[in-house]
Structure 1
Amino acid sequence: MLINADFSQRASLAVEDYQWVNSPQNGVERVMLDRIGEEKARATSIVRYAPDSYFPHHLHPGGEEILVLAGTFSADDKDYPAGWYLRNPPTSGHKPYSREGAVIFVKLWQMLPDEDQHVVIDTQNTANWQQHGEHQVCPLFSNDNEQVSMQRLNAGVALFATEIVGGAELLVIEGELIEAEQTYKRGSWIRLPVGSVAQLNAGAEGVTIYLKTGHLAQIENIDFENF
């Protein structure tokens, strides 16, 4: 299965265009944003858990990155309400579930094999935020290959000031992001290839986004023959 699999091209999905498809597990649906592979896949998805739904315990050979968007996501007897960011390195495993229901943003098989850091961050905790110029930033993860953060921008503030050297990927968490005549509402996803120039500005009420940069310059390091 190939969905938005050419990483040299821009890709996006507005929230009003979501198409929910069933996963192999009852009560769990997903919106596929990009994907190379079938159930074993390099994938970026929005995943929705119905109340009392779950996946059996399983491993993630290529790692897993999660941002909880709504409800409460749980794994191995730990609860993560909306706003929690989780990063589980390659070869880690868990049993994910939700008692009340949850919506999460998930990236699978997108870490290099030598990554070994577990990350758990509450982005709702104001102590985790810093001021960087006109941007409020909650750092989530950074290494030589990628930089991940949550960012808040006041109305009209530009997301990017220069060319996007290593590419970028973002998800609108709150508010709106404006590009020319296009409005990206909460839940909208955009992937910008290496070397892009994009005039994206916060809407009238400001915007909060998840932002990953640099990783698309490393795409040649992913062994797609495994999928």
Structure 2
Amino acid sequence: MFNMNFAESIIVDTANLEWQQSPMAGVDRKPLAREQAERGHATSIVRYAAGSVFRPHPHPLGEEILVLSGIFSDEMGEFPAGTYFRNPPGTSHAPHSASGCVLFVKLHQFLEHDLNQIEVSVEAIRHPNWRGVQHLYEFEGENVFVCSLNANEALPHVIKSSEPIELFIIEGQCEYDSVSMGKHSWLRTPYFNKGAFNITSPVIFWVKQGHFSVDFTSNL
């Protein structure tokens, strides 16, 4: 178990992490948070080599994927770079990639009754010159969206300060609380300070709010 204390602010620069081999040859991972070795809550960057296949497996509490590069495939079809999709609790699949791909993956983090299966094209990845905020998903307070902003641009109102947040840099550079965050850096904090977030170059990032909370009074 690591990075599972949601009361702590965490920034991970994945450029400094080594790829770790998964149980399947050709599929490697950079874990960001994990509850157990091969089950339970997990957030990772996953890399499929060309021609690699992962064994069929279920997702009791869902799977959320953002395709960062290449083409990811399973029984439902092919998902090119710039695809965001959610497989709800109780689904299963046998993923593979003919040409190789890199993914941002979140496992076992759905509400049991969140049964929506969706697929969304992310404009900022498909069209790099696109700027703005794209809403991807909302369910019972959980909000997921992608922002594409210019250097020194203020964060949009949709991002709420003083609340828990999870943020993943797709492209570009920014700083949070004076810590540099480059491509594929990951932030999770129980108390987001918008004033501490600075965009130092054009940036594209995935962001989620409303999916966890922390009771800071429980230990008082």
TM-score (structure 2 length as normaliser): 0.88
Contact 2:124 2:148 in 1 (8 A): no
Contact 1:3 1:32 in 2 (8 A): no
Q: Write the deviation string for residues 139-185 of structure 1: whole angstroms up to 9, x where unpaired.
A: 111012310011111111233776332x1111111111123543211
Unaligned runs of 5+ in 1: 220-227
- 1:155 corresponds to: 151
Give, in whole Å, the separation in 2 of the partners of 1:57 and 1:123: 27
Q: Write the deviation string for residues 10-62 of structure 1: whole angstroms up to 9, x where unpaired.
A: 11111321221111011101011001112112000000001100112211001
Contact 2:166 2:208 in 1 (8 A): yes
Deviation at residue 126 of structure 1 after TM alignment: 9.6
1:192 aligns with 2:189: yes
Contact 1:84 1:124 in 2 (8 A): no
For 1:91-106, list aligned pairs within 5 A: 91-106=90-105
- 1:109 corresponds to: 108
- 2:136 corresponds to: 140
Contact 1:145 1:218 in 2 (8 A): no
Give, in whole Å, the separation in 1 of the partners of 2:138 and 2:76: 27
Identity %, equivalent residues: 36
How many equivalent pairs are there? Answer: 210
More moved, 61-70 vs 209-218: 209-218
Instruction: Indicate how the Cα distance of structure 1 residues 126 and 103 shifts in structure 2: closer, same or farther if over 3 A, else same.
Output: closer
Instruction: Indicate how the Cα distance of structure 1 residues 23 and 182 shifts in structure 2: closer, same or farther if over 3 A, else same.
Output: same
TM-score (structure 1 length as normaliser): 0.85
- 2:218 corresponds to: none
Give, in whole Å, the separation in 2 of the partners of 1:8 and 1:66: 24
- 2:170 corresponds to: 173
- 1:53 corresponds to: 52
Q: Write the deviation string for residues 88-128 of structure 1: whole angstroms up to 9, x where unpaired.
A: 10001111110111000000000010111001011138999
Give, in whole Å, the separation in 1 of the partners of 2:13 and 2:206: 15
Unaligned runs of 5+ in 2: 216-220
Structure 1 residue identity aligned to 2:198: N
CA RMSD of aligned residues (A): 2.4
